[in-house]
């Protein structure tokens, strides 16, 4: 066998992330960034929608800051915890 064939066989292929994960500041696909962005959009939409009592035939409930906090804060913790872990245990020093 040639050297190229041996080296290509010994390399481990890492799976590519799905297209729907957003990228973090390092350019890598990130589940925590994606979840945090979705949570922010859902919370913002709920807040804006709660301004109106009715949108067409849809009745909108009053904005509940406690429920939004229970939804949003764990995801913020996940995101910043991941960033802290990456910064603390980074191989670049």
State the 10-residue block means of pLDDT for the chain, 93 residues long: 54 67 76 86 88 86 87 86 83 61
The Cβ of residue 31 has, within 10 Å, a number of other Cβ atoms equal to 15
Q: Give the residue extent of every domain in the chain.
A: 29-85
What is the per-residue pLDDT for 10? 59
Identify the residue whose tokens are 């913790």: 77
3-state helix/strand/coil string of the chain: CCHHHHHHHHCCCCCCCCCCCEECCCCCEEHHHHHHHHHHHHHHHHHHHCCCCEECCEECCCCCHHHHHHHHHHHHHHHHHHHHHHHHCCCCC
What is the per-residue pLDDT for 43? 87
Whether the predicted model's global pTM rises above the 0.75 cut:
no
What is the per-residue pLDDT for 28? 76
What is the per-residue pLDDT for 5? 53
């Amino acid at each position: 066998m040639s050297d190229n064939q041996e080296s290509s066989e010994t390399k481990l292929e890492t799976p590519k992330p799905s297209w729907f994960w957003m990228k973090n500041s390092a350019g890598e696909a990130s589940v925590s960034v994606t979840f945090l962005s979705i949570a922010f959009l859902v919370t913002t939409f709920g807040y804006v929608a709660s301004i109106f009592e009715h949108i067409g035939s849809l009745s909108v409930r009053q904005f509940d800051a406690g429920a939004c906090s229970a939804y949003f804060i764990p995801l913020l913790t996940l995101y910043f915890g991941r960033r802290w872990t990456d910064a603390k245990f980074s191989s670049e020093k």
